[in-house]
Amino acid sequence: MPFSQDDLRALVERTMPFGKYQGRVLADLPEPYLLWFADKGFPKGELGRLMALMLMLKMDGTDGLLKPLRQ
C-alpha cells in the first residue's frame, strides 16, 4: 500500500470520530480493533484508508516511523 509523509502525519494528528475509541488518535488505536475492522470492513473514504495503513504499519512492525512525527 503506497503512502506519503502526509498520510503518516495524519495518523498522529487525526482522531477516531466514532465508536469505542472515539477521540483517540488513529496511531493509538489497538491492533485488535483494527483487525476487527479489517474483518468487518473499514469505513469508506479517507478514514478507512488511514485505518488500513495503520494496521499495516502495526503488523509490519514499522509503526516506529510515526515516533518522530508525534509532538
pLDDT of 71 strictly over 90: no
- pLDDT of 13 over the 80 cut: yes
pLDDT 10s digits, 51-63: 999 999 999 999 9
| Calpha distance 51→11 (Å, rounded) | 8
Q: How many alpha carbons lie under 13 Å from residue 44 in its C-beta half-sphere?
A: 0
Q: What is the pTM of this model?
A: 0.93
Give the per-residue pLDDT at 12.
Answer: 97
Q: pLDDT at position 1, please?
A: 75
